[in-house]
Amino acid sequence: MITGESKKTIQYIPVTAEQSSSGTYSGGDPVTKIINEREYSVLVDYFHRALDRKKIRIQNRIKGSGFVSVEGKQKQAYVLDGSSVEKKELESYLFFLIGRIQ
């Protein structure tokens, strides 16, 4: 979750073992962190690049794919192809922001 209010925060809500396709994978511990204006701007750019590329959207959540939920006037959810450059770049930057090494 990312908030774009005056104080910008990013919240990592990991997949639990129960939610994973294998039934054993855990995405680690939840993290909430304040990010600065520059970090927020770069993150928004990564989101736009990933979401604007409709070819990388897939129907089903499968191992390695990325799930993105966008809330605004309407809540929209997307599953991104795990092999796409855009998904990998977005994920890498998110992990960088929360201080998690892949």
Radius of gyration of the chain (CA): 14
For residue 56, what pLDDT is reported? 95
For 39, the domain range is 2-54+85-98
Task: Walk along the chain (102 residues) in steps of 10 and give the mean pLDDT of each run.
Answer: 70 79 78 91 93 93 85 85 95 88 55
Interatomic CA distance for residues 66 and 73, integer angstroms: 22
State how many domains the chain has. 1
For residue 38, what pLDDT is reported? 93
Is residue 27, in this structure, part of any structural domain at all? Answer: yes
Is residue 21, in this structure, part of any structural domain at all? Answer: yes
Is residue 68, in this structure, part of any structural domain at all? Answer: no
For residue 72, what pLDDT is reported? 73
For residue 46, what pLDDT is reported? 94
For residue 88, what pLDDT is reported? 95
For residue 14, what pLDDT is reported? 80
Is residue 32, in this structure, part of any structural domain at all? Answer: yes
DSSP state for residue 16 in the 8-state scheme: P
Is residue 30, in this structure, part of any structural domain at all? Answer: yes
Classified as helix, coil or strand, 97 is: helix
